[in-house]
Structures are given as C-alpha cells and as structure tokens.
Amino acid sequence: MKREYLELQQVSTHNLKGFDLKIPLNALVLITGPSGSGKSSLAIDTIAQEGKNRLLKILNYDKEFYVTTSYQATFSSSMPPVFALAQGVRNWFPYKTVGEFLGLVKVLEVLFLLEGEVFCASCGAFNRVHSISQVISWYETLKEGTKFYFLVPLLEITPKAIEYLVSQGFVKYLIDDREIDLSEEQLPQSFKEVFLILDRMVKEGKGRDRLVENLRISFSLSNGRFFLKTTEGLQAQFSLRPVCFRCGSILPVGWSYCKTCGGRGYKQKVACDTCDGLKLREEVLKSRIGDFSIEEILRLDLKNFKEFLSRFSEIKGLDTFIKSLLYKLEQAEFLEIAYLSLSTPVFKLSVGEKKLIEVLQVLTADLTHCLFILDEPTLGLEVEQRVKVLEFLKNLVKKGNSLLVVEHDPFFIYEADFIIELGFEGGEKGGYLVKADFNPLYFEKNCTLTSAYFSGEKRIVKKEKTRETEILEFSLPLGRVKILSNRINLIYGRPGSGKTKVFHQLFEFLVNQDKQVVFSDLSVFRRKEDWVIQYLNLWDLLREVLSQLPSARVKGLTKKHFSFTSKEGVCVGCKGKGKKIYKEEETVIEVLCEECLGKRLSLEVLNLEYKGFKIFEVLDFTIEEAFQVFSNLPKVKEKLMHLIDIGLGYLKLSQEVQTLSGGEKSRLSLIKNLTEKKQVEYVFLEFPFEGLHLEDINRLHQWIEKMVAKPMTFIILETNPLALFLADFLTEVKHQKIIFQGFFEDWLKAQPETLKEKFAFYQRFVAKF
Ligand SMILES: [Zn+2]
Ligand SMILES: [Zn+2]
Ligand SMILES: [Zn+2]
C-alpha cells in the first residue's frame, strides 16, 4: 500500500525557518528538539490550527475571527480530522469530576431515566417513572393472545370515594385479587387492596391503540399511575408522571441538580455542604439503580463501577455505548488508575493522574483515520506507565490513525516510526528542521543532537560528590523522611502515591524552621502581560542605571520615565499596552502599537542610547546578548548568568511570560527566587524535567551540580526515569507511605526483572564521573 503524507511547505510560524516537511500518515510520528526550538509552534500552532480551520470551514463558521491566521504554512495535501491535546487542557475543567470527564456520569443519567427508582422525600418510597414507550415495550413482550388487566390504584380508598367513581360509571374493581362488579355486588366489609379495573385487554393486532387510549385516561384518573397484570399473574407497575406511587407527592424530575451549588459541586476547591461535591439533589442521590443508591454509585471507584455497569450491558440501544465505556474502564485498570472514584474532582488529581485520564479519554474514543496531536503524554508518569501509554499509542496507529507526539522520553523516540527533530537552539537560533526521517534511518550517522545521545557520543554527566554530607531526619505528618545535605534528593512514586504530599510537607517543615528555602512557583505567572525582564525584576535594576545616563538627565528623565506603568513613562499611543485593541461586532482585533512598536515606553526613552544601542533594541535583546552588554553590572550579570547556565539564554527580554512553556516558566521562576535570596540552603524543584530535551536536562543537571557544590541541598519531585539515575538519594512513596530511602542502585536491585530491563534502557544516557 502506498503511504500517504501530510505535506507542508514554507512552515514559518513563530520562529520556524520556512522549511518544507512531509509527515507520514498512519504512523507514530515524534517531534523532539531542545527548549524553544519550535516544537509546539509546529505541532500545536500550525498543524492543529490548520486542522481546526478546515473543520470550521466545513461547519460554515466563515466569520473571520474563528480563523486565526497567526500560523504561516502552506498545506498541499489532504488532512485527516485532527484531535489536539495541547498542554494545559488538563486545567480546562477543574471542577469536572472523573466520572463526568470520562462520560460515565452521562451513562448513569441515562440508566437512571430507564432503570432508576426515584426516592420520595415525603414517604421514603422508591418509584419508577416511565415513558410511554417503556409501557409499549412491555406490552410488545407479551405473547399474542395474553389477557391482562389495566388496573388503576386509588388514592383514597373510602366507601364514599368508591361510591363516587361508581356513579361515574367505573364499576369494575379488583379487590384483594377478586374481580368485583360494584353495580351488582356490595363492597366487602374489610379488604387490603383495591384497584379500579379500567380495562380487560388482550395482546392482539389493535390492542396497542387501545392501550394508548387507556394511558391517556390514566393521566386524569391517577396522574398516570397504573398496573398491568396478566391473568397468569405477571405484573408491572408504571408511573408516567413524576409522582410518588405510594403517597402522591411530586418527585424530582430526572437528573436534577443540587440547588445550593447549582450543580457545580465546588467553590474555590471546597465541596458544597449540601451535596458534598456530588452535584445532585438529595432526592436524586438517595434514589437508586439496582441495589445501589446514586450516591453510592458516584462514590464507587472505576474498578467497581465497571462491575456495576457490566450488568446493564445488554440493554438494547445502550449496549454499544455501555460496551465502549466498559472498554474505557478496562483500559483505566490497565493504566492503573481504576482506584479513582467517579466523584473525584479533576483539580484534586496529581499531574500524572490528569495526564492518564486525558490519554484514556482521547485514546479510547473508537476513531479511525484521525490525526491525534499530543504534547508530552508521559508527563508525571513513571517508567511502567510510560511503556503502557506507548502501547496505547501504537494500538491507535494499528487502528488506522496517525499520531503526532511532542515528546522527549528517549524510549518513545527509540520506538517511534518517524522522528522530526527541530534545532539547533531556542529562540531565533531555533526553528530549523534538523532531520525528519523514518526509524532506523534517523539514527544512522548520528548527525543530530538527539542521535548523539543515542550513540553515546553525548551523555549527561553525573558527578561523584566529594563534599561531606550529613543525614538530616525530619518528622512529617506522612512519616519520617531522611535527606542527604548538599546532595540531590529525589522524591519518587506513581501518580496518586502521595509523593507530592511528602514534597510539600517537607517544604513547609523547613520553612517553619526558618531555613533558607527556594522553590519554583508557577502561580506568580498570573500577571500575564509581564515581560521576562519585568518578571525577573531586572528592569528595576536597569532603569536605575539608565536614568542616570547623561543623555537622560539632560532631558530631565527620571526613574519614573522608565516605567511600564507610570503615566510619565508609557507610550501615549497605547497607554503602555504595546498594542491597540479594536472591537468590530464580535471580532476583537489586536494591532501592534505603531508608535512604540510594542515596546510600551515613550519614544523619548526608547530612543536613548546605552553603549551604542537604543533602548528600543535593548528590549529586543536575548538574555545572552544582554549578558554581553550589561556585564559591568554585577547584580544584572548574576541573574543573566544563571539563566544562560540553566539553558534559557535564548529568551528575549521583552518576551511575554504567558508565551513560555511550563518548563521555561519553572526554570525562570527558580532563578528569580534563587537570585533574590542572600543565602540559600534548600532548593525544591517540582517536575523540573517537564518538556525538556535530553540536552536541556543535561544543562539543568550541570547547573544543579554546580549549585550543590556551593553547597545547597536539592529536593526534586520527578518521575522521569533519568531523574533516578541523576539523583544522589532516593525516597520512594507508595500508598501514602514512604517505602524506600536509600541509593538508586540498591532500590533497583530489589525491583522485578521486567522493571530492571526498562531502566537498563535509560542507563546509556548517563555517565558517572
Ligand atoms: Zn411518597
Ligand atoms: Zn451542592
Ligand atoms: Zn505604544
């Protein structure tokens, strides 16, 4: 069979350098390359965007604002439908529960309408509420010629009420199972059960019309409540209106939501008092399907929910839907996340759990001939789960799909069908297509950065430590934990193991002890419009210097004039926003401010010169360039040096922090926090290898080694297999307990052979000195 390709020409979105590219379809295609080399620009901002645009065109969303033109490339081939899971998807619906996210609550809702028994808050009875088609289905199952009664229960069973009905012509009754005609006989002295016999029917040709007519009458007689009872004793109770069969009270209609929280379940991460985060009305929670109340079902874990659901897999019309969910739940067991309950909100999941839920949701959709675009599907996962996700991806390809995955795990690169490598560095020095080839051709000749790591030409160097260490012991709520001082300590475990808790508890403990602690904090990136230079508080240092320039003083410029926020400093054209925003109907158009060209400051300031560069140009410098120009300013130099060391030298001073990747943000924040402390004893890093290429990991690791030698103690939370090789001391957390503390080599010895083999693959990337 001839292979089809997705063909792109002149790809020049963001920093991409206008290359042509042929991507094979029906294959596992992997995109790799160092930080900032343009991987997301290619996968998410170009290909996923084109896919979305093509889809919107079909759907006739031809309005301009739906089609963003920010990507630049020509597509000269047809394209399968695209499903893109960009980083950050996992934060879209924090208050959704696992059950909602996976479509399990939806099936529960349907089952509830079909099979549920609604709880009556007035009398405690359980009621079925039926549709007319359910009555007809029951009728259709009867054998031809079967005789049956259409019985109506009486709300009031007093002789007076019965007398009235008789006067209206309703004379036939079933009293304690005996048929009595009250126009001929007297009402017995005592009895237990009375039904009005609305009709005696036979299952036959025209019987259905008569049945529907009787249903109509039952609405006015008994609010749509009735029994059908065959002469052989087969009986069914129906209720067409949401009214209690026993006491006549009004029942909640369908799947109704908690009134206190409006069905949101949570507010600012706290569960609603009324529904305890289950989102439904009390009567619905107490209602039941089979032997379980809805509340009990929502609290089931995925494993037990699978058993519950399998009982309904034969329901006509629902069977395909339920079978697809059962398959999904089976895969949840395979990925080892079946311990999560339906009602767990997404915000409570760990990074790895979110990733697995996402992968599960998309990859169990029974689709073929689609293009899936994934960004780092291994994030937060440990080795065995990574292997499982890879199997998942391969299965999707077997089903006829195409996969485009941005990923750096060397095992994924090794197993991919086709590898696209971007380079050579980040930012302006990046955006080149270094190599795009099938496996194993890609690995031949070792001419790329990535393949150099595979051939052993390059390795991540782990230094043997000479400086003395001390075992520090801390008593945390989750148990005693040991840490080696002046070493790299790794806290490791599967998603949901409790490792993050240990990490945070240790952090809080040390802060409370007044230790000098530094960590990377992503929450400080909330001010999205900030530039790198502002975020680092570098601009404050620089404007101090710049306002002292003779040329500035001549013009009467002060520090205020160098501010992005003061009225003296900002560009009058855009009031310091750098862009102008127009609204045309529903369309929002952003245009670069033509006065300051996005540099936010007044022209008076932008035109000043420092060492022969206009401020305008200075703001466009990369960190590396700025390091050369400002080398005479020690404080500025120190920050910039760290950033270069840690692999961020390619970032522009005026880059908006919101455009940075997770890995870039975490390193940037680390350096900011580190350089703003006089003395640092402990450094906490949460998933520092997120989104990092082997080369970036290498740089980051060298930087950590340098800091450790100062000395500093590092505590790292990471699941990347390479982290185990690079750390000096390992803490494993499982089931909310610390189960191992010691050296990786000793830990590995105690692991099963299959796991040892998996780790052996990663060993080649690390060299010890
Ligand atoms: Zn009732
Ligand atoms: Zn509520
Ligand atoms: Zn402006």
- One-character DSSP codes across 94-132: TT-BHHHHTTHHHHHHHHHHHH-BEEPTTT--EE----H
Pick the CATH number of 5-91+351-456 from 3.40.640.10, 1.25.40.10, 3.40.50.300, 3.40.50.450: 3.40.50.300
The arrangement of secondary structure in 528-646, i.e. its CATH architecture, is Up-down Bundle (1.20)
Ligand 3 centre to CA of 595 (Å) is 5
Give the model's pLDDT for residue 522.
66
Return the ligand number nearest the Cα of 273: 2
Ligand 1 centre to CA of 215 (Å) is 22
Return the ligand number nearest the Cα of 577: 3
Ligand 3 centre to CA of 572 (Å) is 6
Give the model's pLDDT for residue 65.
46
What are the structure tokens assigned to 514, written together?
Answer: 């007044």
- The whole-number average pLDDT for the span 23-45 is 93
Ligand 1 centre to CA of 288 (Å) is 15
Residue 743 reports pLDDT greater than 90: yes
Residue 363 reports pLDDT greater than 80: no
How far is 69 from 506, CA to CA, in rounded Å?
A: 47
The vertex-766 CA angle with 491 and 439, nearest 5°, equals 110
Ligand 3 centre to CA of 451 (Å) is 45
Within the chain, all domains assigned CATH 1.20.1580.10 are found at 98-108+254-344, 528-646
Going by the DSSP 8-state scheme, the letter that residue 245 receives in this structure is T
Give the model's pLDDT for residue 67.
46
Ligand 2 centre to CA of 99 (Å) is 17
Give the model's pLDDT for residue 526.
61
Strand 402-406 relative to strand 28-32, pairing: parallel
Ligand 1 centre to CA of 276 (Å) is 25
- The whole-number average pLDDT for the span 326-331 is 93
Ligand 1 centre to CA of 595 (Å) is 73
Ligand 1 centre to CA of 117 (Å) is 12
Ligand 3 centre to CA of 580 (Å) is 8
Ligand 2 centre to CA of 281 (Å) is 7
Ligand 3 centre to CA of 691 (Å) is 34
Within the chain, all domains assigned CATH 3.40.50.300 are found at 5-91+351-456, 459-515+681-769
Ligand 1 centre to CA of 156 (Å) is 14
Residue 566 reports pLDDT greater than 80: yes
Alpha helices in 335-444 (DSSP H): 351-363, 383-398, 410-415
Query: What residues have a C-beta under 5 A from ligand 1, the ion?
Result: 120, 122-123, 125, 244, 246-247, 249
Residue 572 reports pLDDT greater than 60: yes
Return the ligand number nearest the Cα of 265: 2
**Which residues are bridge partners to 767 per DSSP?**
461
Ligand 3 centre to CA of 205 (Å) is 81
For 662-718, the pLDDT digits (tens) are 778 889 999 999 998 889 999 999 888 988 999 999 999 999 999 999 999 999 999
- The whole-number average pLDDT for the span 590-599 is 87
Ligand 1 centre to CA of 250 (Å) is 8
Residue 147 reports pLDDT greater than 90: yes
Bond before 24 cis per omega within 30 degrees: no
Return the ligand number nearest the Cα of 248: 1
Q: Confidence class of residue 355 from pLDDT cuts 50, 70 and 90?
A: confident
Lowest mean pLDDT among 90-94, 136-140, 198-202, 227-231: 90-94
Ligand 1 centre to CA of 559 (Å) is 75
For 459-494, the pLDDT digits (tens) are 999 998 888 899 999 999 989 999 999 999 999 999
Ligand 2 centre to CA of 278 (Å) is 7
Return the ligand number nearest the Cα of 595: 3
- The whole-number average pLDDT for the span 396-414 is 95
Return the ligand number nearest the Cα of 266: 2
For 76-112, the pLDDT digits (tens) are 988 998 888 765 545 567 788 999 989 999 999 999 9
Within the chain, all domains assigned CATH 3.30.190.20 are found at 130-239
Ligand 3 centre to CA of 495 (Å) is 47
- The whole-number average pLDDT for the span 489-509 is 94
Report helix, strand or coil for 308. helix
Mean pLDDT of the chain: 90
CATH class of the domain comprising 459-515+681-769: alpha beta
Ligand 1 centre to CA of 120 (Å) is 5
Give the model's pLDDT for residue 66.
46
Residue 69 reports pLDDT greater than 60: no
User: Where are the strands (E) in 442-543, listed by range?
Assistant: 460-462, 471-476, 479-484, 488-492, 517-519
For 103-145, the pLDDT digits (tens) are 999 999 999 988 899 999 999 999 988 888 889 989 998 999 9
Return the ligand number nearest the Cα of 279: 2
How far is 538 from 545, CA to CA, in rounded Å?
A: 11
Ligand 3 centre to CA of 542 (Å) is 20
Return the ligand number nearest the Cα of 605: 3
Ligand 1 centre to CA of 212 (Å) is 26
- The whole-number average pLDDT for the span 448-458 is 93
Q: For residues 646 and 699, is the Cβ–Cβ distance under 8 A?
A: yes
Return the ligand number nearest the Cα of 260: 2
Pick the CATH number of 130-239 from 1.10.10.60, 3.40.50.720, 3.30.1380.10, 3.30.190.20: 3.30.190.20
Ligand 1 centre to CA of 241 (Å) is 13
Ligand 3 centre to CA of 581 (Å) is 12
Give the model's pLDDT for residue 87.
57
Give the model's pLDDT for residue 525.
59
Ligand 1 centre to CA of 127 (Å) is 8
Return the ligand number nearest the Cα of 343: 2
Secondary structure tally for the chain: helices H, strands E: 28, 35
In angstroms and rounded to an integer, the radius of gyration of the C-alpha atoms of the chain is 34
- The whole-number average pLDDT for the span 385-394 is 93
With respect to CATH, is domain 98-108+254-344 assigned 3.60.20.10? no
